[in-house]
Amino acid sequence: MARRRFWSIFPASTREATDAILANFLLHWFPARMRATSLGWTPSFWLGTASWVLFVLLLLTGLPLMVFYIPSTREAYQSIKDIEHVVSFGWWMRAAHRVAAHLMVIVVTLHLARVFLTGAYKNGGAREQHREWNWVIGVAMLVGTVLLSFTGYLLPWDQLAFWAVTVSMNIAASAPLAGPAIRELLIGGREVGQTALMRFYLLHIVVLPIGVAVLFGYHMWRIRKDGGLARGDATGETTGVMNAIPAVAVRMAVVTLATWLAVTVLAMVIPSPLEEAANPLVTPNPAKAPWYFLWLQEIVADTTVRIGPLAINGAFIGGVLFPLGLLVLMTVWPWLDRSGPAATGVTMPRERRTQTLVFLAIAILIVVLTVVGLLRGPSWAFYWPWEAWTDVPTRY
C-alpha cells in the first residue's frame, strides 16, 4: 500500500506494461508501431524533437531569468547587468536562453523545409488523413517561434534591442490602412517605451509560450491521428512494421542530450551582447532589425527608389507585401499541390521537381539577403568581414 502512494500502476506482465504506456499521452507521443525506415535518423533528422527540447530549455532558463528581471524602462537594463555580472551563473543562463531562442528559429525553419521537400503535408493512401492541417499548424508554430524571439529581443533595453524593435515596428507601420494601428497596438503608443516593454514582456512570458505549447500538443496528436511519419509507401501496408517504443525512447534521449550539449557549449563560447542603455535620442548607424528579419530589411533598402516624381515604398514591398504573400502561399500550398499519394514523404520526387526548385530558390534568396544584411555597415554600405567600417557620426 505504501508503494501505491507514489505510483499507481504495477503491471504484472509485459502486455500490461505496454498497455499502460499506450494509454498515457505524455508517455507515448508517437504511434505504438512504426515502420523501421521511419525510425532512422535521415527521414526527419528528428528536427521536431529538437525543436521541442529547445522550447523546454527556453522555459527552464527563462524562469530563473524572470525572477531577476525587472520589466521597467528605468530598471530593465540594470537588472540585465546584474544577471550578467552579479547573479551566480547568470551569464550562462542568459547566454543559454539567447542561444536556444536563435537555434529554435533555425531548427523550426529547417523542420518546415524538410516537410515541404518531402511532401509530408500530403495525404498518403490511408483514409482519414488530414496532414495538410498539420502543415498549417506548423506554419503557425514557426510564426509563434519568431514572435517569441522577437518579443524577447526588446527586454535587455539596450541600444541594440531598442533600435532593432524600432526599425521592425517602422517597417510594420508601412502597411496600408492598418499599418499604423498595428504598430500602435503592439507598442501601446507612438514611441517604443514603457508600455511597449510591458506588452512585449507579457507576450514573451505568458501568451506566446502557452500558444506554442497548445499548438505543439495538437500537432503531436495530429501526427498520431494521421499514422505517424509520412512515407512514400504509406498505403496501409504493414511491411517492416515494428514496436516503436524502445527505438523512439533511445533516439529521443540522444536528441535531447545532443541539443542540451550544443546549447551548453555555444552559451560558453558565444557571449551575449549588451550595448549601452537604450537612448531614443541617439540613433546608431547602422540600425538593424533582428537577424531573422534582416532579409526583409535588405529588401526594403533595395526596393526603396525614387524615379522622378514617382517614389516606390520599399517598406511596404519588403516589410508587408512580400512576407505576407509568402506566408499566405505557404499556408495554402497543400491544397495547391496536385502531386499524387506516391510522392508523399519522398524527398524531392520527380513529380514535385518544379515546386521543389522554386522553394529552394526562394530559400537560397532569403539566406543570401540575410548574409548581405549582416555585412551592411554605416549608411547601409556593404563591408566585407575583413574591412573596417568608415567612421560615420551617430545621428542625434
Question: pLDDT tens, 173-203?
Answer: 877 777 788 888 888 888 889 999 999 999 9
pLDDT at 209: 96
In sequence order, which residues have a C-beta less than 8 Å from that of residue 23 and are 6 or more positions away? none
The Cα–Cα gap between 214 and 52 comes to 12
Is residue 317 within 8 Å of 303, Cβ to Cβ? Answer: yes
Query: Burial code of 33-50, b = ≥16 C-beta within 10 A, e = fewer?
Result: ebbeebbeeebbebbbbb
The Cα–Cα gap between 394 and 52 comes to 42
* 0.85 surpassed by pTM: yes
53 is written with which cell numbers? 527540447
Specify the DSSP element, H or E, that contains 35: strand 33-35
pLDDT at 45: 86
pLDDT at 95 over 60: yes
* Mean pLDDT value across residues 36-49: 80
Is residue 339 within 8 Å of 357, Cβ to Cβ? Answer: no
Length of the chain: 396
Q: Which residues pair with 395 in a beta bridge?
A: 283
Q: What is the 3-state secondary structure (H, E, C) of 165-180?
A: HHHHHHHHCCCCCCHH
pLDDT at 189: 83
* Mean pLDDT value across residues 379-396: 76
pLDDT at 234: 44
pLDDT bin (cut points 50, 70, 90) of residue 237 is: very low
Specify the DSSP element, H or E, that contains 306: strand 305-307
Omega of the bond leading into 286 within 30 degrees of 0 (cis): yes
How many other CB atoms sit within 10 Å of the CB of residue 369? 19
pLDDT: which is higher, 314 or 388: 388
Task: Tell me, rounded to whole angstroms, the distance of Cα 257 from its chain centroid.
Answer: 20
Burial class (CB in 10 A: 0-12, 13-18, 19+), 181: exposed
pLDDT at 21: 66
